[in-house]
Amino acid sequence: MDRVQVEGVSKRYTLGEQRNFRETLTALATRRRAESRELWSLRDVSFTLADGEALGIVGRNGAGKSTLLKVLMRITTPTLGRSRTRGRVAALLEVGTGFHPELTGRENVYLNAAVLGMSRAETTRRFDEIVDFAGTERFLDTPVKRYSSGMYLRLAFAVAAHLEPDVLIVDEVLAVGDAEFQRKCLRRMSTAEAEGRTVLFVSHDLGALARLCPRALWLEGGRVRDEGPTNTIVRSYLTSGLGGATASVLQGGSAAGRILEVQVRPVDGAERPLFREDPFRVVVCFEVLEERIGLDIAVSVTNDRGVQVFDETLSHTQQHRFPVGRYEVELSVPPILAHGDYTVGVWLGTPHDDLHHEPAALAFTLHGEEAVRRDRTVVLDLPFRVRSLG
């Protein structure tokens, strides 16, 4: 039997115009009805989840993701259709619900655990694990009102993450804490899945969602637009309605020359996002106002950890003379970068003179799946040779 069943669920809200007392009386006297309109947050949503399955939900703001989670948690009831969940359900919708600022961290662990449905005996049994996970041991006997926001949220997530539910519903918890804590959160959810618990995960971090959930549901305008393998859904979701070219018009420069524009775009020129496995081009448009001997241009790319992945100059491969005029140079980048966020830097000058330097001219994102570790700087796929030594 399925652990979660959602059958034709629709949710309608009525948005009405607020009136003051006089306007209400006037409307009643003239038999005018209050202006209202219907908003369908969900329309005919159906899916099932078995024990040990993890389903990711993607969709832009207003797609109906939060409404769906509230229906599953019975916070709100559907207008049409029905949803069923079997067993104990835990949700991380609003991290920190049930914390009291005047109580210590230790006291709040027990309070928050009780709010989330854990018995005192369960909490005591798992107390050390919760504290170790949160990394707040030194501050356990300090009132949480003196915690930083990060400490507060880490402790709240740690409590919720150590429930032992049959169904775990998680909404955007990766906004909690630093990168290391986010990895711990993901590992915890992955463990829950491995233990046979059903996981439903909503996140804008599509790489994390692809790593955790083999299957995904794409909501758009309250309807299911598509459902299937997560990598396929994520790629379709990213390419829908998004252009591929990224451009930045620059200001500044010198009396001798200036960089006008920088673009990053797919090699095939298609209007789509950039993916890790595809080559791309960096296009730089610049203007020479005074001819200079040895004029050169450089393009660098830096990842989101501040590591400069490469810094290439035109003169390394070919020599050019640039009389006064406008020019466009293009650098082709093979698919060697890991997925993630990058910054393009550009430089125009000679060995003795900088005419225009923009170390962060343009930001862009390479999309991809977590099969390629994000902490890698480059992905070269270098060949290995294996031989037996007897």
For helices 149-161 and 105-115, the axis angle rounded to 10 degrees is 40
- Strand, helix or coil for residue 198: strand
> Between the CA of residue 111 and those of 40, 99, 166, 169, 174, what are the distances in Å?
37, 7, 22, 20, 23
Res 237 pLDDT > 80? no
CATH 3.40.50.280 assigned to domain 4-19+34-239? The reply is no
Cα distance between residue 43 and residue 64, in whole Å: 9
CB atoms within 10 A of CB 324: 11
Res 31 pLDDT > 60? no
Q: Dihedral (C-alpha) 222, 228, 230, 236: value to the nearest 10 degrees?
A: -70
Cα distance between residue 223 and residue 324, in whole Å: 57
Domain segments of the chain: what residues? 4-19+34-239, 246-367
Cα distance between residue 182 and residue 184, in whole Å: 5
Cα distance between residue 52 and residue 298, in whole Å: 51
**Which pLDDT score is estimated for 326?**
96
Res 241 pLDDT > 80? no
Which residue would you say has higher pLDDT here, 352 or 143?
A: 143
The half-sphere exposure of 202 on its side-chain side, counting CA atoms within 13 A, is: 21
Res 135 pLDDT > 90? no
User: In angstroms, what is the C-alpha Rg of the chain?
Assistant: 27
**Which pLDDT score is estimated for 332?**
94
Q: Are strands 4-16 and 89-92 parallel, antiparallel or unpaired?
A: unpaired
From the candidate CATH numbers 1.10.10.10, 3.40.718.10, 2.70.50.60, 2.60.40.420, the one assigned to the domain spanning 246-367: 2.70.50.60
Cα distance between residue 315 and residue 60, in whole Å: 44
CB atoms within 10 A of CB 319: 8
Res 190 pLDDT > 60? yes
- Percent of the chain exceeding pLDDT 90 equals 37
Residue carrying the six token digits 């018995």: 119
Cα distance between residue 140 and residue 317, in whole Å: 61
Cα distance between residue 104 and residue 121, in whole Å: 19
pLDDT digits (tens, 9 = 90+) for 256-297: 999 999 999 998 877 778 888 889 999 999 999 999 999 999
- Helices and strands, number each (H, E), in the chain: 8, 18
User: Average pLDDT, stretch 50-70?
Assistant: 88
Say if residues 304 and 367 touch (Cβ distance below 8 Å).
no
pLDDT digits (tens, 9 = 90+) for 209-220: 888 899 999 999
Q: Are strands 257-266 and 280-288 parallel, antiparallel or unpaired?
A: antiparallel
- Strand, helix or coil for residue 269: coil
Give just the sign of the alpha carbon dihedral 129, 134, 135, 138. negative
